[in-house]
A and B are shown apart, each in its own frame.
Chain A
Amino acid sequence: MKKGLILLFTLLTSASLDAQTTLRENSTKNAVYGHLGINPSTLLTVGYQRYLADSVFNREIIVFSEISSSLFTPGPKDSEIKLGGIISIYEWNKFKIINSLNFSYGSAQSINFDSKKLAVGDELAIGFYGPKSFVATSIEFEHVYLNHLKHSDYFKDTYFSDVKDGWYKGLGGAFQFGIETGFTLKKKVDIHLELKVPFTEKFNSYMGSPFHLTLGGRYRF
């Protein structure tokens, strides 16, 4: 029971999987990182990771928090905060299966609406992890559990005057299938590249960017 609760806690506090977090020297306990890319709009992410020892599974857990914002419209109005954790759930030599789970809160403001969302995402990466590099395939799923929409006067006048504002049960969710790779540049600096193809949670066309691309860097200390 206790192990189950710990596992549940671990998964629930674990997100944007970054398989490279497993590549590090044991002497470092912290890392700061940044991502740049399109996912789903242009995105700049900064985050912090903390490596924790897990006495239950005798395995390392990484918890992280990060904040993202649109690259061209930076600021809180188009942003997302994620809290999560990463854990290796299976290892055999260099082969690993890594899971990452996250909670996110996002805001999107446009000429049409002011939207907030609460979502849970999980990502599974399966790949080969060497001491200085890795390559993996990934499956990511995110489901939005709650949305709050407040529409602008512009939207009401131009499109739909009787649109309903308020809390909506989840309006979306998406799968992403991807490949990712990374390598260690210097002793404490990692580079990470990820390409993903998004679909809706019912495997319909995403109707946005046909692919998501992220370039990341990390400094461990």
Chain B
Amino acid sequence: MPQVKIVARNFMDMVASLPAFKLDKLYENSFICEAILRSLPPLAKKYVLQMLYIEGPVSAKWLEEWVLPDGVSKHKVAVDRLIQLRILTETIERKKETTYLLNPTFQSNLQKHIVHGGVLPREPMASNITVRLPTLEDLDAYAVQQWEYFLLHLINSTEAEKSTNISSSMMRIFQRGLLNQKDDKEPAKLTESGFQFLLMDTNAQLWYIIREYITNCEEHGVDTADLISFLLELSFHVTGKAYNLNTLSDIQRNILKDLTDLGLVKLQQGRKESWFIPTKLATNLSISLADTSSRKQGFVVVETNFRMYAYSTSKLHCEILRLFSRIEYQLPNLIVCAITKESLSKALLNGIAADQIISFLQQNAHPRVAERTPSVPENVTDQIRLWESDLNRLEMTPAHFYDEFPSRDVFEATCDFAREYGGLLWENSKKMRLVVKAEIFPHMKEFLRKQKQ
């Protein structure tokens, strides 16, 4: 069964896959330089800093001298990444000496940043204009709420009450791969990747959606480089400050409308002009995936008796928990559920892995239990894994069956041959029968033909 896994690819992977001339054009924007530098692996960051004030090419040896034997692989990863992003250009001279040259545009942009300390992409609303701006807490709550509405819509939940402005065609694009509808009468069901998607943390989910969004825009003729540079620029705005909409181009304003529905920005209508306020989701865009400082506080307490208490008012959380547990009752701020064998096998059959459930429980452990190790009782995690292995008791291997060998010698030679290829599954020497894996069938055919001659 082919497995389509949702890889929450990083924004930067997408940037790296852009054609060279577009990439070079992107580096003219200093915010992109900054965002890209921040996305690099630590060692690569260090190399860039080290080479920032060196004009001209640097020999590869000079960089390698710093690396300890343990770090060679990390060094390779760092340098490969830099070359992939065209930050370094590699030239191999005649004397077989490799040299690296830092991208001059990139270099001068970062030099400027280091000397001047960086500037903001655009001026926020002057403080003398008296408009009530939402507080940071309100803004966070708004972003979370907006994102939840979006997710509830995404999974076609009946719990979603407020409608979003995202066009149904756009929604369908997002749902592609996450939902699967067999016929029109049945409601669409979540696919395996859909389940995985729901269990990811917000940042990872955001990446996935933004990636789909960008590919969608590409199909509609919007330049990806422009879109990416706008998104990255957006991430350098200050959270909670209002920015004038008039500073944006028409295309950017259209993008912004979609982003509002995702909760990345909040629009505010002034008396004369409109403003947009970036939320935490937007400013986290340029942070690489591994940085999870934006992670919310956990809410789940798992007890050794397989009961789960989720301190949450969110309908989305309830939906997620419903994926693998039985909801027993719900109070205004508490969801009580139980992990049972039935509920769990339902989840496992839907394609969620036991490890995903466990890591979800661990990631979202309530702060009180998160302090303890293990944050989820061991007997529960063990049992979840056991239930999973229960489903895998039978293993299917395509195979071929041979019998009626002309002689014992031929039979034994064939057995040895199959064993050599690691494809012997079963043999019965009395009745001279054997079963081999299907993948070595061509070899077997060849061998038996030779035996006949």
| Chains A and B form a bound pair | no
